[in-house]
């Protein structure tokens, strides 16, 4: 940005930041409906907050999401997006939030995740492989029960966002949501049209309920859901309004019925079922 002329009054930090964001908004608008939208959005945000990458998905119920865009290299895209869409998305806190009805707002992944997320098999087998250290998700209501989620992420070797950074990102939410909604409108309409045309295509509605339905009781299937999502025994007990001891008994019984001994085997069996 050009320096003020000699003798001109000093420019406030607020004015400098506003000028940077205004410049970024102009670049994003110019990139709308084109392949450079994600890169333009990332560059605009980077002028204000240090983030490493952008990725986004469209969710509609429990059907398989659609990847909307990203700024990842091909190697990272295979793990972060392709592997995610093969089944692990069903255990993603952002996906779960859309199922719970979240349609707008800005949220850190850690604020949506269960208490044992980092001890879950989903984290160990998938999320840890991505190299992502932090995600801030922007939820956008695209209509017809479709929710778009744009993630601004940082790698594990990058410093975490500060409170100041997070406050900035929350303040940017209306602009980011509005721009993303405009960018994704056509994709969202196509998604709805395709689902209506092929309602039986790989839909994963009620996958948790169907998993092990011939072997497990309703309560045991509920516990499978919570365990896979990363809930501790105590957290699962609170969700189901039963004692932690009862959760442990159900967990032992469902492991026995499925012929498994570890959470890793449960995770593998679930992915094989929904894959």
User: Can you give the pLDDT of all 275 residues of the chain as single tens digits?
Assistant: 455 555 556 668 888 888 999 999 999 999 999 999 999 999 999 999 999 999 999 998 888 899 999 999 999 999 999 999 988 898 899 999 998 899 999 999 999 999 999 988 889 989 999 999 999 999 999 988 899 999 999 999 999 999 999 999 999 999 999 999 999 987 777 766 666 555 444 444 456 677 888 889 989 988 998 888 889 999 999 999 999 999 999 999 999 999 999 988 998 888 888 76
DSSP symbols for the chain = -PPPPTTSPPPPHHHHHHHHHHHHHHHHHHHTTSTTHHHHHHHHHHTTS---EEEEEEEETTSPPEEEEE---HHHHIIIIIIHHTTGGGG-HHHHHHHTT--SEEEEHHHHS-TTGGGSHHIIIIIHHHTEEEEEEEEEEEETTEEEEEEEEEETTSPPPPHHHHHHHHHHHHHHHHHHHHHHHHHHHHHHHHHHH-TTSS--TTHHHHTTTTTS-HHHHHHHHHHHHT--HHHHHHHHTS-HHHHHHHHHHHHHHHT--SHHHHHHHHHHHH-
For residue 200, the model assigns a pLDDT of 46
Q: Which of 101, 69, 94, 60 is nearest to 201 (CA)?
A: 60
For residue 205, the model assigns a pLDDT of 46
CB 181 within 8 A of CB 73: no
For residue 192, the model assigns a pLDDT of 63
Domain ranges of the chain: 20-197, 207-274
SS (H, E, C) 9-43: CCCCHHHHHHHHHHHHHHHHHHHCCCCCHHHHHHH
For residue 102, the model assigns a pLDDT of 95
For residue 86, the model assigns a pLDDT of 87
Chain-centre distance for alpha carbon 45: 19
For residue 206, the model assigns a pLDDT of 57
CATH of 207-274, one of 3.40.50.12280, 3.30.565.10, 1.10.10.10, 1.10.150.240: 1.10.10.10
Q: Full-prediction pTM beyond 0.85?
A: no
CATH of 20-197, one of 3.40.630.40, 3.30.450.80, 3.40.630.10, 3.40.50.10860: 3.30.450.80
> For residues 92 and 64, what is the distance between their CA atoms, to the nearest angstrom?
12
Its sign, for the CA torsion 263, 269, 274, 275, is positive
CB 240 within 8 A of CB 248: no
By residue count, the chain amounts to 275
For residue 193, the model assigns a pLDDT of 63
Q: Which of 72, 68, 69, 17 is nearest to 45 (CA)?
A: 17
């Amino acid at each position: 940005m050009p320096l003020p002329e000699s003798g001109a009054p000093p420019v406030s930090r607020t004015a400098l930041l506003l000028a940077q964001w205004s410049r970024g908004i102009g670049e994003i608008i110019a990139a709308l409906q084109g392949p450079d939208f994600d890169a333009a959005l990332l560059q605009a945000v980077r002028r204000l907050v240090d983030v490493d990458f952008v990725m986004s998905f469209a969710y509609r119920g429990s059907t398989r999401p659609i990847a909307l865009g990203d700024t990842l290299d091909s190697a990272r895209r295979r793990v972060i997006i392709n592997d995610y869409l093969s089944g692990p998305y069903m255990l993603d806190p952002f996906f779960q939030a859309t199922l719970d009805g979240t349609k707008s707002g800005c949220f850190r992944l850690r604020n949506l995740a269960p208490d044992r997320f980092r001890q879950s098999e989903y984290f160990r087998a998938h999320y840890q492989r991505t190299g992502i250290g932090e995600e801030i998700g922007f939820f956008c209501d695209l209509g017809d029960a479709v929710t778009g989620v744009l993630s601004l992420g940082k790698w594990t070797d990058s410093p975490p966002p500060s409170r100041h950074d997070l406050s900035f990102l929350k303040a940017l939410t209306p602009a980011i949501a509005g721009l993303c909604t405009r960018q994704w409108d056509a994709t969202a309409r196509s998604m709805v049209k395709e689902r209506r045309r092929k309602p039986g295509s790989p839909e994963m509605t009620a996958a948790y309920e169907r998993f092990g339905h011939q072997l497990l009781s309703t309560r045991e299937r509920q516990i499978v859901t919570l365990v896979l999502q990363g809930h501790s025994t105590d957290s699962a007990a609170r969700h189901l309004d039963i004692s932690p001891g009862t959760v442990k008994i159900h967990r032992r019984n469902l492991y026995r019925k499925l012929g498994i001994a570890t959470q890793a085997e449960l995770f593998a069996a679930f992915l094989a079922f929904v894959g």
